[in-house]
Amino acid sequence: MSNFYLTVNILVNNLVSLRIPVMFSISVSSGFCAAVVYLLYDVNPPEGFNLRRDVYIRMASLVKTLRKDGDDWVLVLPPWGRLYHWQSPDIHQVRIPWAEFFSLTSLQANVPVIEYEEFMAESGGPFIDQVLVLQNYAEGWTDGKWEEKVDERPCIEKLMYSKDKQGYYRGWFWGYEETRARNVTCMSAQGHASILAPLLRRNITATSVMLDRAETVLHDHYAGKDYWDTRRSMVFAKHLRIIGDEFRAKYLNSTDSSDNTVYNEDWTRMQAKLGSAKGGPYLGVHLRRKDFIWGHRDDVPSLKGAVKKIRSLMKKHKLDRVFVATDADEEELESLKRLLPELVRFEPSWEDLELLKDGGVAIIDQWICAHARFFIGTSVSTFSFRIHEEREILGFDPKTTYNRLCGDTEKECEQPTHWKIVY
């Protein structure tokens, strides 16, 4: 009996102590639920689309770690835009929501995510409580010893944020000029993404924290189960997959049923057996040019060298069609077409490009390469790596996937690593 009263007393006390903050603090939405905390992030401006996709995986992992303590962390998707490679003229390519490229419901089945505009609406405006600018340690690794650590430090590089008259920090917030930060701090960090978790938990008085230069932290466990869960959840937006599929059917004689590449939009149910996918009757090539050849890298072939390899692969695998995804400029493209007149490319009209944007076209290129009977990519291109993963998800034999073009004079042409999915 006395026990009963005690329980009631505790309950009453808890109710009282829980209710009080509700009356004074707008950040607590209900007495019993953990308050929402938003994690925002951004990546070094020169980084391209496919490394950014990789950083998303690191941030999703961090949010999962943060949520383990019961706090309701939500990942805010950084709008796409102002990417160095997205230079199609006269097309507005900024403030692009993730839903234009990825299936949001698929992402949400992995970790809670919202678009930036939703964040502004939900959190009460274009304000970010705390920006943490991640950087390395000025002194590098001391004694050549690697250790995981994170510390507040003076900013090493010039701060890309400046205070306005009201004392708010202004800077690049994905093209949302009205967005401001209340506080900006530089943090030296060395290690995997989740080393930030204790620091972020201590910061819990803030309702929104943005990690800038988020690529500074590494994967918690590259190619582990959590990596693959997040990667598999990055299902391309349906309209892009449909356009890619229609193109395959029309120009490459390729359909899912004949190629054994039937896709389940619900990624949690997609578990294709390795080697089960046959792929369409064409060779898929990702031929990365531009900045990859400007540096005269010896692991990247000349056009002639690439075409020679393409022809020999077509012969070897008895394929009479070849699909080429490339970022080659006009001049190189003309040469390539002269050397390989039968090549098939996805070339959108200006109107289509305006709708799909450079990012959408890149995804369609990747999707078509992902369905080829045999694929060959370019050395250390994250664009090619994402194609490898897509093919792994579809269930291709690794021999048909982890291939890359070799430089004309490259001696040891090491081939890409096979990363097996952990389900």
Ligand X SMILES: Nc1nc2c(ncn2[C@@H]2O[C@H](COP(=O)(O)OP(=O)(O)O)[C@@H](O)[C@H]2O)c(=O)[nH]1
Which residues in this chain contact ligand X in the complex, by CB under 6 A?
A: 48-51, 85-86, 286, 288, 325-327, 358, 361-362, 365, 381-383
Minimum Å gap between C-beta 48 and Mg ion is 3
Catalytic residue among 47, 115, 118, 410: 47
Strand order in the sheet with 162-163: 127-128, 180-181, 169-170, 162-163
Q: Is 377 in the site for Mg ion (CB under 5 A)?
A: no
**Partner from ligand X, Mg ion, none contacting 161, C-beta within 5 to 8 A by type:** none
| Full 3-state SS string of the chain | CHHHHHHHHHHHHHHHHHHHHHHHCCCCCCCCCCCEEEEEECCCCCCCHHHHHHHHHHHHHHHHHHHCCCCEEEEEECCECCCCCCCCCCCCCCCECHHHCECHHHHHCCCCEEEHHHHHHHHCCCEECEEEEEECCCCCCHHHCCCCEEEECCCCCCCCCEECCCCCEECCCCCCCCCEECCEEEEEEECEHHHHHHHHHHCCCCCEEEEECHHHCECCCCCCHHHHHHHHHCCECHHHHHHHHHHHHHHHCCCHHHHCCCCCCCHHHCCCCCCCCCCEEEEEEEECCCHHHHCCCCCCCCHHHHHHHHHHHHHHCCCCCEEEEECCCHHHHHHHHHHCCCCECCCCCHHHHHHHHHHHHHHHHHHHHHCEEEEEECCCCHHHHHHHHHHHHHCCCHHHCCCECCCCCCCCCCCCCCCCCCC
Which lies closer to ligand X via its Cβ, residue 190 or residue 366?
366
Closest approach, Cβ 303 to ligand X, in A, equals 14
Residue 49 binding partner per list Mg ion, ligand X, none, with a CB distance cut-off of 5 to 8 Å that depends on partner kind: ligand X
Which one of Mg ion, ligand X, none is in contact with 371 (Cβ closer than 5 to 8 A by kind)?
A: none
Beta bridge mates, 149: 190
Minimum CB separation of residue 52 from ligand X in Å reads 7
Residues 44-83 within binding reach of Mg ion (CB under 5 A): 48
Q: Which of residues 208-247 bind Mg ion (CB under 5 A)?
A: none
Residue among 279 and 359 whose Cβ is closer to Mg ion = 359
For position 359 contacting Mg ion by CB under 5 A, the verdict is: no
Least separation in angstroms between CB 251 and ligand X: 16
Which of the listed partners (Mg ion, ligand X, none) does 358 bind, with a CB threshold of 5 to 8 Å by partner kind? Answer: ligand X
Tell me the residue length of the chain: 423
What residue number has its CB nearest to ligand X? 48
- Which of 19, 290 has the CB closer to Mg ion? 290
Nearer to Mg ion, 48 or 360 (CB): 48
Of the two residues 283 and 362, which places its CB atom closer to ligand X in the complex? 362
Active site residue 354: no
Q: At 73, list the tokens.
A: 């962390």
395: contact with Mg ion by CB under 5 A: no
- Closest approach, Cβ 333 to Mg ion, in A, equals 20
* Partner touching 286 among Mg ion, ligand X, none, CB below 5 to 8 Å by kind: ligand X
Report, in Å, the least distance between residue 367 CB and ligand X: 11
Q: 128 vs 325, which CB is nearer to ligand X?
A: 325
- Quick one: what does residue 38 bind among ligand X, Mg ion, none, with the CB cut-off 5 to 8 Å set by partner type? none
Is 360 a residue that touches Mg ion (CB under 5 A)?
no
Site for Mg ion in 10-49 (CB under 5 A): 48
* Cβ proximity to ligand X, 161 vs 346, nearer residue: 346
User: What is the binding site for Mg ion (CB under 5 A)?
Assistant: 48
Catalytic center residues: 47
